[in-house]
């Protein structure tokens, strides 16, 4: 067979090879310089992560000033809930300028995050249908801090 009849196949192969070459050239430009420095990731990313300002404090740090509240939480069913889950992160309370009042959310929505009845939660976990629960007690649903009218957030089983 005459080699001339393969010309189109040869040209197609050259095109594919050319595309591969372009890809590898582009790849050489696109790979970040620090990639692979420490492992299969961009080395500079470590510094970028380390430079992100710390927001949350150590859970034990709260006890340094609020020992009484920390002990109360530890003795109740909220023992596993860290302070900064409901209060703002420590750095919003202890700032460069000194101590500022801790922002506190008293909204029922905060309680609902854990205690609104959901099928995905284990049956043994305390869950309620908020609307029914509030209606059953004859309370005002519009009030944001409705839960705190009856429950203590630091030890919720102790009624107020």
Q: Characterize 29-47 residue by residue with b for buried, 16 or more Cβ atoms within 10 angstroms of its Cβ, and e for exposed.
A: eeeeeeeeeeeeebeeeee
- Tokens 């059953």 locate to 136
* SS3 category, 31: coil
- Contact set for another protein, span 4-23 (CB under 8 A): 4-9, 11-12, 15-16
Q: How far is the CB of 115 from another protein (least distance, A)?
A: 10
Residue (8 or 47) nearer to another protein, CB: 8
Tokens of 13: 């192969």
- Contact set for another protein, span 102-131 (CB under 8 A): 103, 105, 107, 109-110, 113-114, 118-122, 125
Asked if residue 54 binds another protein (CB under 8 A), the reply is no
Instruction: Give the count of beta carbons closer than 10 Å to the beta carbon of residue 21.
Output: 10
Residues found near another protein in the complex (CB under 8 A)? 1-2, 4-9, 11-12, 15-16, 27, 30-31, 35, 40, 56, 82, 84-85, 88-89, 92, 103, 105, 107, 109-110, 113-114, 118-122, 125
């Amino acid at each position: 067979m005459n080699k001339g009849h393969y010309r189109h196949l040869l040209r197609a192969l050259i095109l594919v090879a050319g595309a591969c070459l372009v890809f590898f050239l582009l790849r050489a430009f696109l790979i970040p310089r620090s990639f692979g420095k420490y492992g299969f990731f961009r080395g500079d990313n470590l510094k970028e992560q380390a430079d992100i300002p710390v927001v949350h404090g150590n859970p034990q740090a709260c006890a340094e000033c609020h020992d009484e509240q920390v002990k109360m939480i530890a003795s109740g069913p909220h023992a596993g809930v860290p302070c900064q889950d409901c209060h703002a992160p420590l750095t919003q309370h202890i700032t460069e300028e000194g101590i500022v009042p801790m922002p506190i959310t008293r909204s029922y929505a905060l309680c609902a995050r854990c205690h609104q009845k959901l099928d995905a939660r284990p049956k043994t976990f305390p869950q309620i249908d908020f609307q029914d629960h509030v209606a059953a007690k004859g309370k005002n649903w519009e009030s944001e801090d409705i839960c705190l009218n009856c429950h203590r957030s630091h030890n919720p089983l102790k009624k107020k």
